[in-house]
Structure 1
Amino acid sequence: MTGYADDLALAHLLADAADAVSTARFRALDLRVEAKPDLTPVSDADTAVEREIRALLATHRPADGLVGEEYGEQPATGPTGRRWVVDPIDGTKNFVRGVPIWATLIALLEGDRPVLGLVSAPALGRRWWAAVGAGAYAGPDAAHGEPVRVSGVGRLADASFCYASLDGWEATGRLDAMLQLMRDTWRSRAYGDFYGYMLLAEGALDVMVEPELSLWDIAALVPIVTEAGGTFTDLAGAPAPGDGSSVATNGPLHIDVLDRLGRPAER
Structure 2
Amino acid sequence: MISKITTWEILEALYPTLKLAATYAIAIQQRIKTRPEKTEFGDNFYATALTDADLTIQTAIELVMLAQFPEIRFFGEEYQSSYNTKYFKDINLVEGELLVTLDPVDGTRAYLDGLSTFAIIVTVIRGDRYAGVLIIKPQQGYYLLALRDQGAYRGSLEENQLSLAEPIQLAPLQSTKLYLSFGLSSLRLQLSSDFEVWCSATDYAPPQNPPEYLDLIKGELAGAILERGNLIDSAAIGFVAKEAGAIVTLWDGSDFEPFTLVEPMKIGGIIIAHNPEIHRKIMLTPITFGGAARSPKGGTS
Question: Which TM-score bucket, shorter chain as reference?
Answer: 0.7 to 0.9
Superposition pairs for residues 168-207 of structure 1, below 5 Å? 168-169=183-184, 175-176=186-187, 178-185=188-195, 187-189=196-198, 196-207=212-223
Q: Structure 2 counterpart of 1:237, which letter?
A: G
Correspondence for 1:247: 271
Secondary structure of 2:193's aligned partner: helix
- The Cα shift of 1:132 comes to 1.0
C-alpha contact (below 8 Å) 1:128/1:198 kept by paired residues: no
- Shift, 1:49, TM fit: 0.6
> Unaligned 5+ residue runs, structure 2?
1-5, 43-47, 261-266, 294-301
Kept in 2, the 8 Å contact 1:163–1:189? The answer is yes
Question: RMSD in angstroms over aligned alpha carbons?
Answer: 3.2
Unaligned runs of 5+ in 1: none
**Matched residues in 1 for 2:7 and 2:251: separation?**
29
Partner of 2:30: 27
In structure 1, what is the Cα distance between the partners aligned to 2:190 and 2:287? 14
Could you tell me which residue of structure 1 aligns to residue 281 of structure 2? 256
**More helix as a share of residues:** 1
Call closer, same or farther: CA 1:89–1:261 in 2, change over 3 Å: farther
Measure, in 2, the Cα distance between the counterparts of 1:137 and 1:122: 16
Partners of 1:147 and 1:183 lie apart in 2 by: 35
Q: CA deviation at 1:64?
A: 1.1
Matches within 5 A, 1:1-267: 4-28=7-31, 31-38=33-40, 40-71=48-79, 74=88, 75=90, 80-141=96-157, 142=162, 145-151=165-171, 160-165=176-181, 167-169=182-184, 175-176=186-187, 178-185=188-195, 187-189=196-198, 196-240=212-256, 242=260, 243-252=267-276, 253-260=278-285, 264=289
Residues 76 and 62 (structure 1), Cα distance of their counterparts in 2 relative to 1, 3 Å cut: farther
- Specify the alignment match of 2:298 in structure 1: none
CA contact (8 A) 2:176 2:194 kept: no
Moved more, 233-242 or 73-82: 73-82
1:17-51 Cα distance to aligned partner (Å, 9 max, x none): 321332232112x5233211236110010111111
Change (3 A) 1:42 1:260: same
Alignment check: 8 A CA contact 2:177 2:220 kept? no
In 1, distance between residues paired with 2:15 and 2:281? 36
Q: Which has the bigger relative contact order, CA under 8 A and spacing at least 6?
A: 1
